Amino acid sequence: MQNKKELILAQIFISVMMAFLMTGIFSFIQLGATTDWLSRWPKSFVMAWPIAFVLSLIVGPLAFKLAAIVTRQKQPT
């Protein structure tokens, strides 16, 4: 198990990367490769990243618990 500092740092990295990629992809789909897209993407990212980070703090532990449950081996009887 990772220590708390490592988990928080990983959640920061994951939320930054996911918010950056998701806002870029979805704004590109909506606007296309335009200068308007390039000007809106950073603004969308700045709004999305803090939300993604807070949600990762909530969803992350739940995801680890679910993964542990799903991958837990049944004991032979």
63 is a domain residue = yes
One-character DSSP codes across 22-57: HHHHHHHHHH-SSHHHHHHHHHHHHHHHHHHHHHHH
- The pLDDT value recorded for residue 63 is 87
30 is a domain residue = yes
What range defines the domain where residue 64 resides? 4-71
| Per-residue DSSP letter, 77 | -
| The token pair that represents 61 in the structure block | 């532990």
76 is a domain residue = no
- The pLDDT value recorded for residue 8 is 86
pLDDT tens string 13-72: 999 999 999 999 999 999 999 999 999 999 999 999 999 999 998 988 888 888 888 988
- The pLDDT value recorded for residue 72 is 84
Structural domains in the chain (count): 1
Q: How confident is the model at residue 77 (pLDDT cuts 50, 70, 90)?
A: low
